[in-house]
Structure formats: C-alpha cells, structure tokens
Amino acid sequence: MTIILSLVVIGVLVFFHELGHFLAAKASGMLVQEFALGMGPTIFSITRGETKYALRMLPVGGFLRVVGEENEDGKELIPESRRYDKKPVWMRMAFVAGGPIFNFVLAALIFAVMFVFIGVPSTQPIIGSVSPSWPAAEAGLKTGDRIDSIAGVPVKSWSDLQQVVSKNSDQPLLFVVNREGAEHVITIIPKIDETSNRAMIGVSPHNVRYNVFRSLFLGAKEMVWFTGEIISVLTGMLTGRTPAEGAGPIGMVVMVGQVARTGIVNLLSFAAIISIQLGLFNLLPIPALDGSKLVFLTLEGLRGKPIDPERENMVHFIGFVLLMALLIIITFKDLQRLNIF
C-alpha cells in the first residue's frame, strides 16, 4: 500500500508538471509528439490526434517531446509555425515555465480541496472529537461542547484550553461546558501523553470549512506561505547555515508511507509541499532543468539571437548526467538510512 500511495502521489505531481508544459505548448501551436509519464521502456501507449500518450516503466519522472525542442531528425518537414525553435522567445519561456507553474497551482488546489472538504481546526474552544479511553470521554465530554472556563479560568480560544490543561496533569479540573445552551460542570483529570510528554484530556478542535471561492483564495495564500518557507530553508542550505538534506525515490516512498499512517490530511499536505518543492527545484538554473532553459532563453532575448543549439544541448546533457549521478548517490544514502547497505 505504501508503494501504491507513493506511485500515486509522485504520478500526480509529475502529471501536473508535464500538463503545464503540454497546455502551454498547445496554446502556442507547438506540435507535441509525445506526452509520457515515467522513463525507460513503454508499458502502454495510445495515440490521440497528433500526440502519443505513454506510460513508461520507471516511475521517476516524465517528459514531453515537442518538435524543434531538440536537434531531432525530420523537424524540417514540420511547418515552422508548429516548431518550438521557431516560436518567439516569450512563447518558449511560457512553455518552459508552464511545468513548474502548474506544480504551484497543484499545491494551491490541494490546499483548497482541504479547506472545502476537510476544513481547518477552529481557534474556538469547541470540541470537534473526543478520543475513546481518554479522560474527556470518561468524564462525558461530547462533540459540540463549548468550554467556557476551566478551574475558574475563562477560556476564549483553543490555545487557552491547551495551556490550562497542560499545566495541570493528574489534578482534577472543573470544566464549565455549554452544551446546546445549557451549562454543565464536569470534572476531568488530565493525563500525560507518552508521545508528547504533555498533559492532555483527549479532545480535538472542530474543523471549519469554507466555500469554494474562499478556499481557492486560502489555498493560494497557503501555497505562497509554504513557498516562502521552503525558499528560506533552501537558502540556508546553500549558504551553509543549515545542513543539506534530501531524499531519492526510495526515501520518498518511505516518507509517503510514514505520513500516510498519520491520516489523509497530513498526506495531502505533504503532497502539496512536495509539489512546491518540485516546482522550485525545476526553476533552479541547473543544466537540464527548466530553470537552466529559462536562463538560455533570457540570454537569447538579450542578445537578439539564439545560443548555438549544439552547445546548449551539450550543457543540458552534461547536467542530466550529473543529476542522474546525484540521484544514484541520494538513493544509496537512502538505502544506508534503511540499513540495507
């Protein structure tokens, strides 16, 4: 199940990335010969119109084959209006940037879906769920109860509730509870949670859901916030302030499995964050990545003429080889962490 979930998560992220390239290519009139998920030998393919859609054996990426993007044979037979290399610089930049942009769009959409269907924890001291066998359940606290005060201390927010409870382990506390307009007084004795080493009573806040339009706004806002946080971490790694860390395909499978066991909410959040990371990573000016292609296109726009295609392709090829070598090293480190090597 962990492997299946990992393939689904990675597959969706790669699909949206390539979909961004695909839609930009179609919008500018480029001839897309193949839309592929995965690398290596083809497992399944189907041709619709002028494009072949393929599923390949190795689930480690995907690609789009567009006429004129590389020095392929036979591109001269294709009308110039359909070739990548004959399009204006701004169209080619839109095509290259389309993939990373769609990774950010996907992250925003995942957050928006969560706001619509799952919601976010409310700051109000209203009980959303009560865990069985915990003090709150044993004392009779119910979903929907609003906590007005604890031990005489007014409770205005969920944070207030947490603070009062965490300071009073193994001590009886009088909870003044508003239940459907009626006031109830309940005695609860918090106990220490072994995982967090904090006093708890076993309750969770209720979730607040939003309409579609509000959720789309909040999803975009959440995506922007996480993007800023990730950029801050990456900057720290590049400057040496924080240790450089990373995971390959095997490490990703392990992390997806670990996160999935904590619930669908965390899995969706994890997928959104990985989508943002994928978008940012592809925008780095590293040969073979979209960021490097954007650099070459920027130089072409400034010079008024393209960089020699053979030299550019050689730079991207070298970058691809180095990325594959880095992937092998990261995968080996993943295996070491799992005590396989």
At 248, phi and psi to the nearest 5?
-95, -165
Rounded distance between C-alpha atoms, residue 289 and residue 202, angstroms: 48
| Strand 191-193 relative to strand 198-200, pairing | antiparallel
Q: How many CB atoms lie within 10 A of CB 75?
A: 19
Smallest CA-to-CA distance from 112 within 266, 231, 223, 277 is with 223
The 8-class DSSP code of residue 76 comes to: G
H helix runs in 199-289, sequence order: 212-239, 249-260, 264-283
Smallest CA-to-CA distance from 98 within 22, 7, 209, 206 is with 22
The secondary structure of 100-158 as a DSSP string is: HHHHHHHHHHHHHHIIIII-EE-SSSBEEEE-TTSHHHHHT--TT-EEEEETTEE--SH
Contact yes or no for 173/187 (Cβ under 8 A): yes
Dihedral-angle region of residue 230 (phi above 0 means left; psi in -120 to 50 means alpha; beta otherwise): alpha
Kindly name the residue from 18, 69, 222, 312 that is annotated as catalytic. Answer: 18
The secondary structure of 12-55 as a DSSP string is: HHHHHHHHHHHHHHHHTT--EEEEEEEEEEEEEEEEETTEEEEE
The secondary structure of 274-287 as a DSSP string is: HHHHHHHHHHS--T
- The answer to whether 138 is a known catalytic residue is no
> What are the catalytic residues?
18
